[in-house]
Amino acid sequence: MTAINDLVSYEARDGVGVVTIDSPPVNALSQGVRAGIKGGIEAGVADNNVSAIVLTCAGRTFIAGADITEFGKPPTEPGLKEVIGIIEASNKPVIAAIHGTALGGGLETALGCHYRVAVASAKVGLPEVKLGLLPGAGGTQRLPRVVGVPIALDLITSGEHVPAPKAHKLGLIDELVDGDLVDGAIAFAKKIVAEGRPLVKISDQNDKIEEAKKTPGLFDEFRKKNARRFRGFEAPENCIKSIEAAVNLPFDEGLVRERELFSELLAGEQAKAQQYFFFSERQAAKIPDVPKDTPLIDIKSAGVIGAGTMGGGIAMNFLQAGIPVIIVETSQEALDRGIEIIKKNYAATVSKGRLSQEKMDKYLSLLTGTTQLEDIKDVDIVIEAIFENMEVKKEIFGKLDKICKQGAILATNTSTLDIDEIGAATTRPEYVIGLHFFSPANVMKLLEEVRTQKTSASVMATCMALAKKIGKVPVMVRVCEGFTGNRMLAKRTDQAQKLILEGAKIEDVDRVLYDFGFPMGPFAMGDLAGNDVSWRIRQGKGVKSPVADAICELGRFGQKTGAGYYRYEAGSRTPQPDPVVEEIIEKAAKEAGVTRRKITDEEILKRCIYPMINEAAKILEEGMATRASDIDVIWVYGYGWPIYRGGPTRYADHIGVENIYNDMLRFKSALGGEEWTPAPLLEKLAKEKKGFKDL
Ligand code: T1G
């Protein structure tokens, strides 16, 4: 074994040169790794004792991509394209041996090899688009030459990971290896040498390119078909353009065009925001006062209390992770209804071809319904998802405390109530935690985890790990009114209500936030989620909201009643402005003595977003969230904040905290209202000309 450098080694084994990369955690293509690969390949080419070369990785995975931590720094030699060129130019076959995830530059490196083998558990993909980029080392030129342009368009603009068996069918992987990967790769190398198989250079293969030339309209059709999905993003369009270059230009010119389109994205704000978000999401998993090696509680079964919309969605997450669920309702009728909704949700996914009937049956086989609370006595975790009422919750937690085995975690899905108070209703407050799912609970990725003063480190560590297991992104916050997400949402909601009283049209407020990048504006969202949900919460707190209350008093709960802030034609979900609501608003404005006026889009946007940012500063000052970036993760995954803007605090830094501070003072003098008093932290950052990133 020869060390090429401290990250890459070379060894001749049985007539085959084996180049091994060992650069934890994911063998990312740092400068050292690139230099090591170059040296290793050159060693193999020069070694007269070998007739082929295998490129493989130690540790958990094949190369997982370029080293994202190097982005934004001056490029260093050798560049990845140069390294891939050396591999492809080798006069001996180079075989990539893939395990784990060959992603981005990792797959591009493998595509520069003459052959690729993989274990069945491996996955391959070009996820650069998720970082606001495109595959910048030949991926947009080579992948279409292997799988064809239509599939390459899907894979590159989605960034999805392709399991090795499917990649094998697509021709991306030449052979699936059973047993030891390197042994299998060496055997494969010897086989192709013995058979005299050619050095397959993907860059020379043009049949799939010629195929694409027969349907020139395919690119614009793809654009139209995905317009909604790509809305607001810059990277997908550049991905498409780069693949178009693969069809319209010779390979080498296509590489040049790819680099131009890549560089455009790399220099842009969206790529910086999405790369920031990539690390923010991973940072959120770390809780400063919960050591990495904190012992976890083994979660083998779950109980869900309440089979309503939230309870059913929560149960589905566990079923899909293979965790049996006992779901409890107060009556057989409510239980049957809840389980029927779960079945319908799965059946709908099966009918769309996104879930097999076999998997649906498997999930449902793990579900047990009961009206007897005692039946959950042996589960490892209970998630309560019942009516948002403190007395009801305290009563149920008192019962759970008596029924559930010692060591079981007792979680509540409450979105507004004090979890310290709920925990105090038990003799095990250290096992009580908030697991705040977002509706629809089986779809939204965010899981806002709420620690009380007493929640133990082990329970927190367990629930953070459990979140990942059930496909959620967890963020740990502390107990305050609305926790972190809804506490900030309340500020946006408050401003939206004031804006329509003061003269902004409902559809204008929604349009401005939709154009900002949210999936929908606050009024359309209310109509979708049901305006009665927040109405009941306001009633519980004795809080008035003139327009929102007025429409609910008319039974205008939204889409489910055919009318809310908008009206909906029968069978349609398209919001239509409704003169009835305009009259309600004008009447409320008159009663409130508000003089209505034209309000600009700019004012709408700033008044909806800046109070949220101000609230984020208060949340951080109070220690309710650990990091500014945690708040960004909450808003991207919980509320659809456009990921290409990074999140509220990232956006604040982009706009400039000082500018936000000054605008708040202007709104304060123009509109009055405590919401325009800058938080002390916001003022401090502004005065010091700093941002949330400097915290
Ligand atoms: N660069 C640097 N660090 C990375 C990294 C990368 N590409 N990928 C992961 N890490 C770190 C991560 O921050 C974490 O660090 C640790 O590895 C474990 O990651 C030229 C330009 C591979 C599927 O987009 O999708 O190639 O927190 O917690 O859940 O065209 O990481 O432990 O200190 O996510 O098991 C394209 C990104 C890059 C893949 C593993 N590649 N990574 O997931 O572990 S751009 C990607 C992932 C590119 C070329 C272009 C995942 C994973 P720490 P983790 P995981």
Q: Where in the chain is the domain with CATH 3.90.226.10?
A: 2-266
Assess contact for 178 and 165: CB atoms under 8 A: no
pLDDT at 416: 86
CA distance 491 to 635: 13
CATH topology of domain 2-266: 2-enoyl-CoA Hydratase; Chain A, domain 1 (3.90.226)
The finding on whether 103 has its CB within 6 A of some atom of ligand 1 is yes
The finding on whether 80 has its CB within 6 A of some atom of ligand 1 is yes
Is the preceding peptide bond at 546 cis, omega within 30 degrees of 0? Answer: no
pLDDT at 387: 86
Which residues are CB-neighbours of 353 under 8 A, at least 6 positions away? none
Task: Outline where DSSP puts E strands in 39-114.
Answer: 52-57, 94-98, 101-103
Rounded average pLDDT over 353-378: 96
Neighbours of 449 (CB within 10 A): 25
Annotated active-site residue 128? The verdict is: yes
Which residues are CB-neighbours of 172 under 8 A, at least 6 positions away? 116, 124, 143, 146, 147, 162
The finding on whether 66 has its CB within 6 A of some atom of ligand 1 is yes
pLDDT at 533: 85
Assess contact for 168 and 124: CB atoms under 8 A: no
CA distance 349 to 355: 6
The atom of ligand 1 lying closest to the CA of 279 is: 13
Q: How many helices (H) and strands (E) does the chain have?
A: 30, 18
The atom of ligand 1 lying closest to the CA of 67 is: 1
How far, in Å, from the CA of 65 to the mean position of ligand 1?
A: 7
How far, in Å, from the CA of 26 to the mean position of ligand 1?
A: 7
The finding on whether 239 has its CB within 6 A of some atom of ligand 1 is no
The atom of ligand 1 lying closest to the CA of 61 is: 22
Annotated active-site residue 108? The verdict is: yes
CA distance 255 to 136: 8
pLDDT at 605: 98
Residue 137 has pLDDT above 90, yes or no: yes
Q: Return mean pLDDT, the chain.
A: 96
The finding on whether 191 has its CB within 6 A of some atom of ligand 1 is no
Which residue's CA is minimally distant from atom 42 of ligand 1?
A: 64
Q: Which CATH superfamily is domain 302-481 in?
A: NAD(P)-binding Rossmann-like Domain (3.40.50.720)
- From the candidates 88, 108, 234, 448, which is the catalytic residue? 108
* 478 alpha-carbon distance from chain centroid: 22
Residue 673 has pLDDT above 90, yes or no: no
Assess contact for 102 and 124: CB atoms under 8 A: yes
Window from 26-35, 243-252, 468-477, 532-541 with minimum mean pLDDT: 532-541
The finding on whether 63 has its CB within 6 A of some atom of ligand 1 is no
For the chain, the distance separating the N- and C-terminal CA atoms, rounded to the nearest angstrom, is 46
Give the pLDDT band (50/70/90) at residue 216. confident
Burial of 107 (0-12, 13-18, 19+ CB in 10 A): buried
Q: Where in the chain is the domain with CATH 3.40.50.720?
A: 302-481
Residue 541 has pLDDT above 90, yes or no: no
Testing ligand 1's pocket by substitution, the residue of 21, 61, 68, 126 carrying the most ligand atoms inside 8 A of its CB is 68
Which residue's CA is minimally distant from atom 10 of ligand 1?
A: 26
pLDDT at 69: 87
CA distance 571 to 528: 14
The finding on whether 587 has its CB within 6 A of some atom of ligand 1 is no
Q: Kindly report, residue by residue over 160-175, the tens digit of the pLDDT.
A: 999 999 999 999 999 9
| Residue 515 phi, psi dihedral angles, 5° rounding | -65, -25
Assess contact for 265 and 272: CB atoms under 8 A: no
The atom of ligand 1 lying closest to the CA of 68 is: 1
CA distance 495 to 506: 12
Residues in the chain: 695
Rounded average pLDDT over 32-37: 98
Which residue's CA is minimally distant from atom 47 of ligand 1?
A: 64
Which residue's CA is minimally distant from atom 52 of ligand 1?
A: 64
Rounded average pLDDT over 268-292: 95
Handedness of CA 325, 331, 333, 338 (dihedral sign): negative
- From the candidates 88, 128, 281, 507, which is the catalytic residue? 128
Q: Where in the chain is the domain with CATH 1.10.1040.50?
A: 485-623+656-695
The atom of ligand 1 lying closest to the CA of 66 is: 26
Instruction: Fill in the amino acid letter for 49.
Output: N
The finding on whether 136 has its CB within 6 A of some atom of ligand 1 is yes
Q: What are the CA-CA distances from residue 212 to residues 136, 148, 167, 207, 234 (Å)?
A: 21, 8, 20, 9, 24
Residue 540 has pLDDT above 90, yes or no: no
pLDDT at 671: 92
The atom of ligand 1 lying closest to the CA of 25 is: 17
The finding on whether 409 has its CB within 6 A of some atom of ligand 1 is no
CATH topology of domain 485-623+656-695: N-(1-d-carboxylethyl)-l-norvaline Dehydrogenase; domain 2 (1.10.1040)
Of 60, 52, 8, nearest in space to 31 by CA: 8
